[in-house]
Amino acid sequence: MHAAAPPGLALAGLGLRTPHLPQVLDTGCAAGFVEVHAENYMVAGGPMLRQLTAVRARYELSLHGVGLSVGGESLDEPHLARLAELVRRFEPRWVSEHLAWSRHQGRCFNDLLPLPYDRPTLERVCRHVDRVQTVLKRRLLLENPSTYLRLSSSTLDEGEFLAEVVRRTGCGLLLDVTNVWVSAHNQGADPQAWLEAWPLQAVGEIHLAGCEAVVDPCGRPLLVDTHGAPIDEAVWRLYAHVLARTGPRPTLIERDRRLPPLSELEREVRRAAGLLAHVAPSTVAAPAGGTGTRGAPALRSEGPA
């Protein structure tokens, strides 16, 4: 049994990072759920697993992968087996990964690299998502990447690509609103129009993070999703637009670099919770529960069970 979140915070969560763990375990935090990077807990035992066990006793949990390389040439089966063991052990409410690749010919790159949105990539991604969901016995949420240019070999828009993956595999989506804002800005597009082709009924979780403006070597202004700054006001406005179309969806505040005090992140959690509490019920159907005996339950606006 996990404690219910305070009213209004049930769907607003926090990306839990190691420096904040002692405080969260000692006094708790203003979040309805927490999310951790799965790869940090792929160990046989020790303090990391003990800490996550203690966190799981208090909060609903989301496992967010960064190394499965769903878009790569092949899945890392040992990595997938370790993820499946984590899912079995901690029974998270949500499991997510990135629509990206990070492995090639046995080499692992410490990055989430973009994919061309074309038919061969679509076939490969669908095959890999099917395999992941079969092994995990539950629905996978697939996160949209941040991009900095459109690959010349792409024949589909991002929304079209994602809609087809959802249709073929039954997976859900993790909508990173900041990544939409970054990608649209960098490619000279309207971020609201960017979402028009998205299958919003499949969104099972939302991410909000900080981005920062840079200038590339050619003098072109870019936005980079650094996860190292407060959430931009433009991202908050786009998030409100998304909620108006989807209704309440579990929303996570992400911060990975230049970590501020926990209280600063809690203010962003409460801001998201306030928007969630005042949005109308969903105008599109929420994704159904996950596949298999441990599938995630259908989303709801009240506190976690």
What are the pLDDT digits (tens) for 7-23?
Answer: 446 699 999 999 999 99
The total domain count for the chain is 1
Distance CA 118, CA 190 (A): 22
Q: Would you state the pLDDT for residue 109?
A: 56
Q: Would you state the pLDDT for residue 217?
A: 84
| Residue 137 included in any domain | yes
What are 128-186's pLDDT values in tens digits?
999 999 999 999 999 999 887 677 778 999 999 999 999 999 999 999 999 999 999 99
Q: Would you state the pLDDT for residue 220?
A: 83
Taking the alpha carbons of 204, 210, 215, 220 in that order, is the dihedral positive or negative?
A: positive
| Burial of 259 from C-beta contacts in 10 A (0-12 / 13-18 / 19+) | middle
Which tokens is 8 given? 């209004």
C-alpha angle 57-274-25 in degrees, rounded to nearest 5: 25
| Residue 117 included in any domain | yes
| Residue 267 included in any domain | yes
| Residue 287 included in any domain | no
Q: Would you state the pLDDT for residue 272?
A: 97
Whose structure tokens read 């092994």? Answer: 135
DSSP string, 248-281: ---EEE---SS---HHHHHHHHHHHHHHHHHSPS
Whose structure tokens read 């900095």? Answer: 148
| Residue 283 included in any domain | no
Percent of the residues in the chain that have a pLDDT greater than 90, as a whole number: 68
Query: Looking at residue 262, which CATH number applies to its domain?
Result: 3.20.20.150
Q: What is the mean pLDDT of residues 25-43?
A: 94
| Residue 58 included in any domain | yes
| Residue 298 included in any domain | no
- pTM of the predicted protein model: 0.87
Q: Would you state the pLDDT for residue 249?
A: 96
Residue 105's pLDDT band (cuts 50, 70, 90): low
Q: Would you state the pLDDT for residue 301?
A: 26
pLDDT above 70 for 97: yes
Residue 55's pLDDT band (cuts 50, 70, 90): very high
Reduced to 3 states (helix: H, G, I; strand: E, B; else coil), residue 22 is helix
Reduced to 3 states (helix: H, G, I; strand: E, B; else coil), residue 61 is strand
Distance CA 303, CA 120 (A): 41
**Continuous segment of H or E residues that includes residue 120:** helix 119-136
Q: Would you state the pLDDT for residue 24?
A: 95
HSE, CB side, 13 Å, CA atoms: give it for residue 113.
12
What are 222-236's pLDDT values in tens digits?
888 888 899 999 999
Chain CA centroid to CA 29, Å: 20
pLDDT above 50 for 296: no
Give the chain's mean pLDDT. 86
- How is residue 230 annotated by DSSP? P
Distance CA 36, CA 151 (A): 31
Q: What is the mean pLDDT of residues 104-122?
A: 76
Q: Which domain holds residue 50?
A: 12-278
pLDDT above 90 for 205: yes
Q: Residues 232-236: contacts with CB within 8 Å, 24+ apart? A: 232/178, 232/181, 234/181, 235/177, 235/178, 235/181, 235/208, 235/211, 236/208, 236/271, 236/275
What are 60-90's pLDDT values in tens digits?
999 999 888 888 888 989 999 999 999 999 9
| Residue 110 included in any domain | yes
